[in-house]
Amino acid sequence: MQGLLNAGHSVFAMNMLGCGTNDDLIVGTYGNLAIGYYVAAAVEAMNYWDVTGEFNEYDMVGLSGGGWTTEILAALDPRVTTSFADAGSMPGIAFIDPFSGFPAEYTLSSYYGIAGFLDHYIMDSYGSGRTHIQILNYNDDCCFGPAEWGPTLQGYYGETWDQYVANYANNIAAALTAISPSSYQLIVDMVATQHQISTYAQSLILSTLGGSSSSPAPSARNRQLTRTSRFR
């Protein structure tokens, strides 16, 4: 956030409802309506700015549950122009034991039965001037990296983490060939050492949105290690 401010951007920062600690209660109480509560603050903020005319572009960055919120909001509200979801989700694992213990907003079957995560990524990417950048941390110590994938999911899908990620990225690419305009990037961040927005990701966000990072830029070796797929 400080890097964005230093680069001259305005920042509206928000936490998830209950800072992500009351997911089962929220979803259990409100069901499908709970999705609306998770994105309501950002939607109301954009509604206000539409009236005041303070900004001509809305972009969104999120980590973990914030990445999930970014993917949901950008799919449902096309006013979000460029969206960055860092370690926010991965399709096809939240309903598989023992991963069914995911936070409740990840496993609302009545909602995802209409549009799953792959659908959300495609909706995030669709529209003139819109881009969705999904970042997965290869060395993530929490979520959506190879360490979590392990033998259980590899046995279930018959694929390594790398193969699975490459395959669903290819599926998105195939879908987007029929949808124009659209822009989607999947980046495997080899710089991150844990569940974080790395210095590389910070530089990527700032260079994409305009501005420079106060954090050191990743080395040439790290840039080469970062796997990128871009589809237009």
pLDDT digits (tens, 9 = 90+) for 124-134: 999 999 999 99
| β-bridge mates for residue 60, sequence order | 83
Say if CB 187 and CB 137 are below 8 A apart. no
- Across the strands, what pairs with 135? 86, 187
CATH of domain 2-231: 3.40.50
Q: Report whether 158 contacts 105 (CB < 8 A).
A: no
Q: At what angle do helices 161-176 and 146-157 cross, to 10 degrees?
A: 80
Q: Which stretch of 25-29, 55-59, 158-162, 185-189 has the lowest confidence by average pLDDT?
A: 25-29
Model confidence pTM above 0.75: yes
Please list, in sequence order, all residues whose beta carbon lies within 8 angstroms of the beta carbon of residue 95, skipping any fewer than 6 positions away: 107, 109
Contact 104, 38 (CB under 8 A): no
DSSP state of 167: H
- The domain spans of the chain are 2-231
Q: What is the pLDDT of residues 170-211, one digit of tens each?
A: 999 899 988 889 999 999 999 999 999 999 999 999 999 986
Q: Between the CA of residue 210 and those of 5, 139, 154, 205, what are the distances in Å?
A: 11, 27, 39, 8
Say how far apart CA 73 and CA 203 lie, in whole Å: 23
Placement of tokens 């871009």 in the chain: 230
